[in-house]
Structure 1
């Protein structure tokens, strides 16, 4: 397997998300399509060097992006719950029509 190059913006964003989030690095790596060990080493290196990961965003913008990413993740979870509930109730309605 060869060495894979990641864009600087992706690397900076991934490090920032790890630093700003309570989620496990493994989960973030899977979500972003990055190898776990790769992301872990990026974060460790950034912490060791004391570098704040920024992708050209001001502090308030970076905080807003992190807030929106968290909100987006919550909305995705809610949509999944609603999709499952909709499917459940549709199957219930279908069963009652068969017996009518």
Structure 2
């Protein structure tokens, strides 16, 4: 039977390393607490030390793709605000005048 491989986000990996360093617990204890298989925490820490900000790129997303994602999320937020304002305006103008 084939096992599914777990994928961990960049944020999860960074938080796991931070937790390990901040608590003083052993790597094994942190791995057990977070459900990480043995030895991954050491690997993630080495990768972070070697590659710095470029570590844990995820599924091949590039900085340009990340920037595009952020731009689209900002744009979506603006459009949602405009939609909400229009909904409120319709509700106000739909009321019978006094």
By relative contact order (CA 8 Å, sep 6+), the higher-ranking structure is 1
TM bracket, shorter-chain basis: 0.3 to 0.5
Relative to total residues, which structure has the larger helix share, 1 or 2? 1
* Structure 1 length-normalised TM: 0.44
TM score, norm. by length of structure 2: 0.45
Task: Flag the structure with larger Rg.
Answer: 2
